[in-house]
Amino acid sequence: MPRPVLTTRDLEDTPDGGELTIAPDTLITPLAADEVERRRITLRVTDVSKQSAHSHFGRVVALGSDHGGFALKEDLKAYVRDWGYTPLDLGTSSVEPVDYPDFAEAVANAVVRGDAWRGVVIDSAGIGSSIAANKVPGARAALCYDRATARNSREHNDANILSLGARLIPADAAREILAVWLETEFGGGRHQKRVDKICAIEDRHRKP
């Protein structure tokens, strides 16, 4: 059975000194653990039979990076697996210099083709990989640097690719960003109309 994950978002409605019930096998992100200690929140472990909130577990998440993002990719790949997803590693495989557009395109292609549910691209700043991935029709790559941008990119923009800058974000923050991004659903409603307009722009500029 896939393992649920506790992030700081799950703690937002819990008062300082309060109590929160979690499943026995819950994975707690590093930032959530710090928040629990700082706010003196008690985590009560109990069996939870319903796991509907984690129905996305088991889906394929494609990951790709250049040499600057290699170490962070390897770190996040392990967490993706621990959280119950299936990681699809599209390279690179070492810290030898390579070109980020190659790996960003590979991840975007995997997502657009349906080989992966979502994708993650990483380079030193995250900017180049985001630009490259967005050149693939159907890709909506978002460069995120905190929980708020991660949540917004999913709720408002239905981003299907997360871009991270390995030299700008600490590893523990990157894990938190990824956890929030993977858990957040698209809001639909008024946001759907705007995503449709983004897709329409893409359609107007497709080559005949």
Active-site residue, from 54, 67, 156, 205: 156
Give the pLDDT confidence of 3-20 residue by residue, as tens digits.
Answer: 678 888 788 888 888 888
* SS3 state at 51: coil
pLDDT recorded at residue 58? 52
Q: Look up 191 and say whether it is catalytic.
A: no
For the chain, what is the mean pLDDT?
A: 89
State the CATH number of the domain containing residue 96: 3.40.1400.10
User: Is 13 domain-assigned?
Assistant: yes
Same domain flag for 45 and 78: no
Same domain flag for 44 and 71: no
Give the pLDDT confidence of 93-116 residue by residue, as tens digits.
Answer: 999 999 999 999 999 999 999 999
Which residues, listed in sequence order, are joined to residue 122 by a DSSP beta bridge? Answer: 65, 164
Can you give the pTM of this predicted structure?
0.77
pLDDT recorded at residue 174? 95
Q: What domain count does the chain have? A: 2
Spatial contact of 67 and 44, defined as CB atoms under 8 Å apart: no
Average pLDDT over residues 111-138: 96
What is the span of the domain harbouring residue 36?
A: 5-52
Interatomic CA distance for residues 4 and 183, integer angstroms: 10
Give the pLDDT confidence of 23-58 residue by residue, as tens digits.
Answer: 777 888 888 888 899 999 998 886 544 444 444 445
